[in-house]
């Protein structure tokens, strides 16, 4: 990694920090430059537009959570791998709630700015489906999961429902104190358990 890469990554880190505290639309390039201790021109040298920097932050945050979802190959029933996969949504909700708020705002930002060409970002998300599908196929072999007629439809329906709920709950006003998160955590947990119940082969 070159010094230019180090500086670029540092700016991404500082921008992600700003976006974790305030809405994307409210954070300016000046805010990010001040947080990084550089001039605005330096930020623009690495990122031609705010949109480019926002996308870079989305890719960084996606990599940050991938290890929570994707486990190394293990000698446990495949259902347990799938269980951990879906419970990762809850873990992130409890420990990194700002990520869901960022994703909610990112979607709105992409639409409002008319951003296209997110193939690299889309490709990085495909690894989650592969991890799930691999575990599901293993589960069919070891008998720990039920056969689903259309597993692709099941996967997208389940993940979109859970992710949408997490994003919605992350944007509601009262999300700071732990004791005020209990109901929301239970909603996410309940939806995950419904999905897992449809998969588990008792």
Look at the domain 60-199 and name its fold. Answer: Tetracycline Repressor; domain 2 (1.10.357)
Q: Per residue in 159-194, is it b (16+ CB within 10 Å) or e — as a string? A: beebeebbbebbeeeebeeeeebeebeeebeebbee
Residue 117: burial class (beta carbons within 10 Å; 0-12, 13-18, 19+): exposed
Distance of alpha carbon 20 from alpha carbon 103, whole angstroms: 10
pLDDT at residue 176 in the model? 52
Residue spans in the chain of domains classed CATH 1.10.357: 60-199
Pick the CATH number of 1-48 from 1.10.10.1150, 2.60.120.890, 1.10.3720.10, 1.10.10.60: 1.10.10.60
pLDDT band of residue 182 (cuts 50, 70, 90) is low
Q: What mean pLDDT comes out for the span 139-149?
A: 95
On whether the CB atoms of residues 43 and 85 are closer than 8 A, the answer is no
72 three-class SS: coil
């Amino acid at each position: 990694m070159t010094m230019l890469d180090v500086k670029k990554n540092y700016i991404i880190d500082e921008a992600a920090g700003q976006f974790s505290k305030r809405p994307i639309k409210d954070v300016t390039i000046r805010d990010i430059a001040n947080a990084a201790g550089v001039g605005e021109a330096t930020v623009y040298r690495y990122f031609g537009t705010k949109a480019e920097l926002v996308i870079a932050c989305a890719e960084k945050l996606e990599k940050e959570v991938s290890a929570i979802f994707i486990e190394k190959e293990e000698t446990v029933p495949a259902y347990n791998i799938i269980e951990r996969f879906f419970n990762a949504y809850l873990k992130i909700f409890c420990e990194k709630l700002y990520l869901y708020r960022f994703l909610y705002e990112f979607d709105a930002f992409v639409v409002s700015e008319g951003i296209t060409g997110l193939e690299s970002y889309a490709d990085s998300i495909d690894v989650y489906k592969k991890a799930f599908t691999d575990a599901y196929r293993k589960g069919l072999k070891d008998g720990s999961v039920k056969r689903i007629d259309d597993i692709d439809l099941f996967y997208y329906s389940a993940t979109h429902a859970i992710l949408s709920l997490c994003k919605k709950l992350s944007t509601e006003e009262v999300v700071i104190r732990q004791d005020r998160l209990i109901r929301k955590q239970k909603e996410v947990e309940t939806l995950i358990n419904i999905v897992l119940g449809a998969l588990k082969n008792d």
